[in-house]
Amino acid sequence: MSRPSIPEEVAELRASLSQFIDREVRPTEESYREEIQETGTFAALREEQLKMRKRSAEVGFWTLHMPESVGGGGLEYLGQVVLHEEASSHGLVLAQFESIFPVVTGPSPIHLDCTEPQREKYLAPLMSGDKVTCFALTEPEAGSDATRIRTRAASTGSGTWVLNGRKHFITAGESADFALVFAVTDPERRAHGGITAFFVDAGTPGFSVTRVQRTMSPYQNPVEFTFEDVEVGEEQVLGQVGFGFYSAVRGINGARLQIAASALGIAQNLLRRSLEYAKSRVAFERPIGSNQYIQGMLVDSHAELEQARLLVYECARRIDEGADGRREAALAKLVATEMVGRVADRAIQVHGGTGFMTELGLEAWYRDVRAMRLYEGTSEILRTNIAKTLGL
Ligand SMILES: Cc1cc2nc3c(=O)[nH]c(=O)nc-3n(C[C@H](O)[C@H](O)[C@H](O)COP(=O)(O)OP(=O)(O)OC[C@H]3O[C@@H](n4cnc5c(N)ncnc54)[C@H](O)[C@@H]3O)c2cc1C
């Protein structure tokens, strides 16, 4: 399949990532293959995932997206997109879900607001892959409209803050060494300067995981957090008091582009497997791929993937060239995540009943990609964002 042109150094990085995956990731995942098929979950691979991120940090992939000023690779968005796509195109669970590249559970541009001591305590162990974090914004009463969060942080007047409230749907909350928690510090000014971000260490009294949430995806189990009189010091505030959202949006374009790129990679893998199957599976004495109905599904998936890839690469390129990225990142995520849902559905159809069985793992991706249209901005919120940039 053809790909849009990319800079030479990005092509080299992609090739070395591909070799790394074949050499180190695939054999590990293969050794768990039977267990994954048997249990239908990712649980068996959790520990390997943590080891893999450390390994990725050692070889330099893990922090490629971070600026050189904090020890990262300074890779621009186009390069990030190409690498996330490559990682996802191998069809391996362990090459995704923040094992090789972080999205919300490792170092992020959000952490550029850290003070020097915070860089040492929080950012450094994220950069080395030694610690895991999570991003705790969503609550039962507040998802898309995050200004409605109710978790409250009250100042004690003596340099500490006391947090009370509940968060849910928090990715990696169970394994996180610390969480970045968003709480209301000025209820009168929620939308503009009333919400603050705090680092809260696992094990802080009153901070607990109260529920592991089972989902439609075999690979994702976010959690519910409860905060009961959780006391944190002022040195745990990220950025300025009241400006938590300002830190949060630093990471949003990158996260949206990375999710879009993963959607491209997953779609590519599903399409490749569907094409192979269509050529080899025989019905009525000929390969099923010689039927126009089957061809139509495969051609539609191919066409939609090619369109989405051109768009995602172009959006990344425009942000690299200075666009503020609100429209571009939203467009890329909207189009690519909607596309992969359709490609996954057709992949099952082309494989017939076999596609529905767990043994090929196709149905697992079908279920997993459904979440991509929900997190980091639902498709509706992305459309709303794009509409605003069109003057609506
Ligand atoms: C697998 C998974 C992992 C997640 N991980 C995290 C995490 O790590 N940290 C975190 O903080 N959150 C996380 N989330 C939460 C995610 O960000 C929210 O689910 C998302 O923001 C939507 O919020 P909601 O679920 O409350 O839906 P709601 O905001 O209640 O929306 C319900 C429906 O209404 C639509 N809607 C809402 N407002 C509008 C509007 N103005 N116009 C049109 N339609 C609208 C939505 O698009 C949706 O279809 C995760 C979610 C999932 C599914």
List, run by run, the mean pLDDT of 10-residue segments along the chain (392 residues): 83 98 95 78 83 97 97 98 98 94 96 97 98 98 96 96 98 97 90 89 98 93 97 97 92 96 98 98 98 98 98 98 96 98 98 94 95 98 97 96
| Lining residues, ligand 1, CB within 6 Å | 104, 134-138, 143-144, 169-171, 215, 220, 222, 371, 374-375, 378, 380-381, 384
Closest ligand 1 atom, CA of 182? 11
In this structure, the dihedral spanned by the alpha carbons of residues 169, 109, 43 and 227, taken in order and rounded to 10 degrees, is: -40
Q: Which two tokens stand for residue 84?
A: 């996330």
Pocket test for ligand 1, best of 375, 376, 384 (most atoms within 8 A of CB): 375
pTM listed for this prediction? 0.97
CA angle 243, 227, 107 (to 5 degrees): 50
Query: Which residues are annotated as catalytic?
Result: 376
pLDDT at 159: 93
Domain ranges of the chain: 8-127, 133-244, 249-389
Q: Residue 261: which region, alpha, beta or left (left: phi > 0; alpha: psi -120 to 50)?
A: alpha
Closest to 368 in 3D by CA, of 32, 35, 36, 15: 36
The answer to whether 289 touches 298, Cβ cutoff 8 Å, is yes
Pocket test for ligand 1, best of 110, 170, 221, 378 (most atoms within 8 A of CB): 378
Query: How close is the Cα of 98 to the center of ligand 1, in Å?
Result: 20
The answer to whether 348 touches 362, Cβ cutoff 8 Å, is yes
Q: Which two tokens stand for residue 197?
A: 């971000």
Q: One-letter amino acid identity for 131?
A: K
In this structure, the dihedral spanned by the alpha carbons of residues 351, 356, 359 and 365, taken in order and rounded to 10 degrees, is: 90
Query: How close is the Cα of 378 to the center of ligand 1, in Å?
Result: 6
Query: Domain 8-127 adopts which CATH fold?
Result: Butyryl-Coa Dehydrogenase, subunit A; domain 1 (1.10.540)
Is 249-389 a CATH 1.20.140.10 domain? Answer: yes
Q: One-letter amino acid identity for 45?
A: L
C-alpha span between 18 and 87 (Å, rounded) = 7
pLDDT at 2: 62
Could you please report the per-residue DSSP string of 257-310?
Answer: HHHHHHHHHHHHHHHHHHHHHHHH-EETTEEGGGSHHHHHHHHHHHHHHHHHHH
Residue having the nearest C-alpha atom to atom 27 of ligand 1: 143
Number of H helices, E strands in the chain: 14, 10
Closest to 182 in 3D by CA, of 246, 230, 123, 135: 135
**CA Rg value for the chain:** 21
| Angle, helices 8-20/77-88, rounded to nearest 10 degrees | 30
Architecture of domain 133-244: Beta Barrel (2.40)
The answer to whether 207 touches 177, Cβ cutoff 8 Å, is no
Question: For strand 178-184 and strand 133-136, is the pairing parallel, antiparallel, or unpaired?
Answer: parallel
Closest ligand 1 atom, CA of 140? 26
Q: Which two tokens stand for residue 201?
A: 């260490």
Closest ligand 1 atom, CA of 220? 1
Closest ligand 1 atom, CA of 378? 47
Query: How close is the Cα of 359 to the center of ligand 1, in Å?
Result: 31
